[in-house]
Each structure stands twice: as structure tokens, then as C-alpha cells.
Homo-oligomer: A and B are copies of this chain.
Amino acid sequence: MIIGLDAMGSDLGPAELIAGAVKVAQEKDIQVAIAGDEAQIKAALGSAGPKVSSLIEVFPASQVVTMSDTPSEALRKKKDSSIAVLFELQKEGKVDAVVSAGNSGAVVASAIKYLGRLANIARPGIASVFPTLKEPAVMMDVGANVDCRPRNLLQFGIMSSAYYSIMFGNPRPRVGLLSIGEEIGKGNQQVKEARKLLQNSELNFIGNVEGGDTFQGNVDVIVCDGFVGNICLKLSEGLAEALFKMLKDEIRSSVSAKMGCLFARGVFRNFKKRIDYAEYGGAPLLGMNGITLICHGKSDRTAIKNALLEASELVNNKVNEHILTMLESSDAPKGGDN
């Protein structure tokens, strides 16, 4: 098994990402194929020792997809980008998964171009892990599809249930449909129709959930379209950051509070860790004929290490076979974008 890592296009630069690859090779014996600017990658690898050298292979790529490239520009004009090189390798079966913290639109477009969709999946989507008061929850889709049909939502439920069961060892995750009230009649047209499909599926469907349920730990898989999901994801990140900043401001404005914080320092560290996306690695693009993990642009070495580990879990546990089996038993519509 070899996991592909895109060294380019992230906010923190190649050295930080490569440090994550070195860690995962050193600690977990995982083979990593790194694509990007050869000189920068070799400089970052430096003298990593014989074990790491034997586990890491470098694939030169002469182009970099930047944040300002549109997905179609990236596909058309940057055929030798690190992203394109990696997906070509995955298509040829030379790597088993691609991990990237670069331009996520370009990653999705490249996955679709090089890998293609899984049989009978109408729309691939992105699943994202949220911390809760109990076990983590997964929300899907968080940004790949802005206008969805009810059947897309059913398939998101199936794909993210398969993902959840592999990542968190729960074979029957509770699936909720994100809406604005628990009652059957609550929600927009899309949600009302999706509810019927979910209810008739083999999933462990528990009904509608509300925005506030996301962090309570009473639902494992939260289904929504990519417009709503992306807003939820960004709202949550923004609110957690803002609350931290407010708390810091309050602490700074008081001498006794500053003293108090010397005592409480470990608490804040643990707390931050508990809500830190870096702990969860990357967000999988599910529904493709291959494995793709999209990492936050600000991912540090820990986040990248965790994403590479996550990718190896998904490969080992055959996430796509699992999805296909569940699709068949769950009354999912066959084929077509309807």
C-alpha cells in the first residue's frame, strides 16, 4: 500500500506537509509517494535516515495549482501539477489514495476526471468529521454539490455511514437528516422527499435532526446538501475561533485572570485539542473509484500525519467495496443523476 501526498498548494508550504509524511513513515511504516517540486521536497526530506528514505518516493511535478486557479483551469492548463501527477498514479494503480491540502475544487475536479465515479453513485460528496460531547459525528456533503436531489441525500447517507463505520468502529451509525424541526412535516421540499427515501432504506435512520444536535453526540451521520453543509462547516470553525478570541481578550483584560490561567493552562491545551480539526485528518471525497482526502489549507504536520493514517485505514478496510455493498442492500436508485 502506498499513499500519495500532494506537497504543494497548502498555506504552510511543502516542508510542513513533508514533515507529516516523515512522521507517518517513521512511526507507522507507511509508504508515501510525494508529488511536487523535486528540489523543495528533497531539501525538506534532508537526511531523513535509511528507514524513511526506503518508505518515501518522490514524484516530480513541474506545475503548482494555486488557490486562484479555477478547477477547469487547473485541469486544462496544469497537466503536470502535483495534483494531476498523483491522480494519474492512482488511476494507474501505483498509489492507493491521494491526500491533498491544496485547492480543493481542483482536487475534486481531478478526482472526477482521473478516477471516475463509483458504479451507481449519482454524485460524489465530501464528508467531514465534527467533534461532539460524545463520539465524533460525520456531516455529508460539506461542499461538493450545491443543488441536490433527494436521492443524492440518500446516497450521502449510505456513503458516510460506510465511512463512519470504518473510522469509528460502529457498524450501525445513527443517520439524521439535517432540517429545522424533528417532525416529519418540517423542512424544505428537498428534505421532505429525502426523508421518505431514508426511511425506506436499510440505514439506521433516526429522523430529522436540527443544527443544534450536531455537537450533542446523539447522531453519528448528518445528511445535508453541500450548500448547507459547507455553511455549517465554516460557521462552526468561525464560531469556535471567535469564541476563543473573545475568551483570550477577557483573560488579557484582567490581572487575576492572567494568574488564574497559569494554573489552567493545561485545560486550554486539552480543550483546543478536543475541538481541533487537525486531530481528525482529512475529509474524504466519497463516491469515487478511488480514495481522496481533502485536508484543510492550514494543515500542520500532525494533521497531515493523521490524514495519511486515515487514508491507509480506508484502503485497508476497503471503503469503496463497503459502499457498494450498502448501496445494493439499501434500495438505492441505480445509476443516473436522479
Contacts and interface: CB of A to CB of B under 8 A. Distances in A.
A250 interface: yes
A266 interface: yes
Contacts of A93: none
Interface size class of A (residues with CB under 8 A): 35 or more
Contacts of A237: 211-212
Nearest to A273: B250
A271 B250 contact: yes
Interface in A142-190: 143, 146-147, 178-180, 187-189
Contacts of A212: 234-235, 237-238, 241
Interface stretch (A46-54, A195-203, A257-265, A289-297): A257-265
Contacts of A103: none
A235 B214 contact: yes
A39 interface: no
Given A210-B231, A228-B228, A231-B210, A270 B243 contact: no
Contact of A215 (B180, B226, B239): B239
Per assembly, the copies of the chain total: 2
A329 interface: no
A241 B233 CA distance: 17
B260 A264 contact: yes
Contacts of A246: 133, 271, 274-275
A267 B239 contact: no
A235 B232 contact: yes
Contact of A180 (B231, B266, B275): B231
A230 interface: yes
Given A188-B146, A246-B271, A246-B274, A266 B238 contact: no
A12 interface: no
Interface of A: 132-133, 143, 146-147, 178-180, 187-189, 191, 210-216, 226-228, 230-243, 245-247, 250-251, 254, 256-257, 259-268, 270-271, 274-275
24 contacts: A133-B242, A147-B188, A179-B231, A180-B226, A180-B231, A188-B227, A210-B230, A210-B234, A211-B235, A212-B234, A213-B238, A215-B238, A215-B239, A215-B241, A215-B242, A216-B238, A228-B228, A243-B243, A246-B275, A251-B264, A257-B263, A257-B264, A257-B267, A260-B265
